[in-house]
Structure 1
Amino acid sequence: MLKILVAVDGSELSLDGVQHTLQLLKQGLQASVVLAHVQEPATLYELVTSRDPDLIAAASVEAGEHLLASARALLDAAGVAYETDIGVGDVAHTLVDMAEQNGADMVVIGAKGHGALSSALLGSVSQEVARASAVPVTIVKHAQVVELPDAED
């Protein structure tokens, strides 16, 4: 059975990746799901002001669990079983490592949908994951809502 690692950061954009994965499963894809979240490492200030590194690690895991809540709710509502994985580090490379460690056959990640120029200037986690991953990566763009003008009677 395929294993899909779905990157989640708590944003609406990352939930697009969860929705896309749910669509694949509803269409008959047999796969297991891993919801993955990566916390940025503690800042130097956080390390210096905290006397307990375990407290910082616990806070990172707690924050990660909180940011996974919406994605978990979507999968729970759909009756889809899943695992979770929370990492700490550089987001793109940690996601690639998590995919390997979890034996994922593919990664699904939301994207901001920047144009080519701004993506080149700003960089992109989704693009870096796609570049560095040994498995296929599906980048799900956020659906644009188009408002239609009111019909005149």
Structure 2
Amino acid sequence: MFNIMIAVDGSPNSLQAVQHVVQLVQQGLRAHVVVAHVQKEASFLELATQDSELIANASVEAGMDLVAPALSLLQAAGISHEVEIRLGDIYATLLDIADEKACGLIVLGATGESMLGSILIGSVSREVARHSKVPTTIVKMPEVLDVDEVDGDLSQADTTM
């Protein structure tokens, strides 16, 4: 069976990526999904002042809460899946998960950042796509039409059926 990794961070963008994969499976793609979430590791100060095992457990619990909506979508669609929650450098750990689970495709939600923000901050989706050994799909959020962008007067719209 074809393994697909979906990177999930709890954002609407990552849920859009899950919905994209659900559509692919509903259209006939036979796949097993690996839902991947990576939490940043604790800082040196956190590790020095608190129990490292307690911090790691809290991070895993937080990760499970963030992936819960994605799991609900996959369960409702009857799609075979598993969850991988890890601590570490986000993009490198995602690539490790994809490699370990023999994923043939990685799917991520677009960050929606501006070009300047993406350049200054760095984009996980861009880095994963850049360094991945397998095809990577970056799913964009659908555009929302702003009322100010609509040509003409909405009151004159034809509403007959």
* TM-score of the superposed pair, with normalisation by structure 1: 0.92
Cα gap change, 1:42/1:145 in structure 2, threshold over 3 Å: closer, same or farther?
same
Give, in whole Å, the separation in 2 of the partners of 1:121 and 1:151.
40
Give, in whole Å, the separation in 2 of the partners of 1:107 and 1:36.
10
- Which residue does the alignment assign to 2:45? 45
- Which residue does the alignment assign to 1:143? 142
- Which residue does the alignment assign to 1:54? 53
Give, in whole Å, the separation in 2 of the partners of 1:101 and 1:44.
28
Give, in whole Å, the separation in 2 of the partners of 1:31 and 1:115.
33
SS in structure 2 of the partner of residue 33 of structure 1: strand
Residue 96 (structure 1) aligned with residue 95 (structure 2): yes
**5+ unaligned residues in a row in structure 1: which ranges?**
none
- Which residue does the alignment assign to 1:76? 75
Give, in whole Å, the separation in 2 of the partners of 1:28 and 1:46.
47
Give, in whole Å, the separation in 2 of the partners of 1:21 and 1:118.
27
Give, in whole Å, the separation in 1 of the partners of 2:76 and 2:146.
29
**5+ unaligned residues in a row in structure 2: which ranges?**
157-161
Give, in whole Å, the separation in 1 of the partners of 2:41 and 2:100.
19
Deviations 1:35-77 (A, max 9, x none): 0000000122321221x22111111111111111010111111
- Which residue does the alignment assign to 1:67? 66
Give, in whole Å, the separation in 1 of the partners of 2:34 and 2:141.
21
SS in structure 2 of the partner of residue 70 of structure 1: helix
Rg comparison, structure with higher value: 2
SS in structure 2 of the partner of residue 36 of structure 1: strand
Number of residue pairs matched?
A: 152
- Which residue does the alignment assign to 1:9? 9
Identity, % of aligned positions: 51
* TM-score of the superposed pair, with normalisation by structure 2: 0.88
Give, in whole Å, the separation in 2 of the partners of 1:64 and 1:152.
46
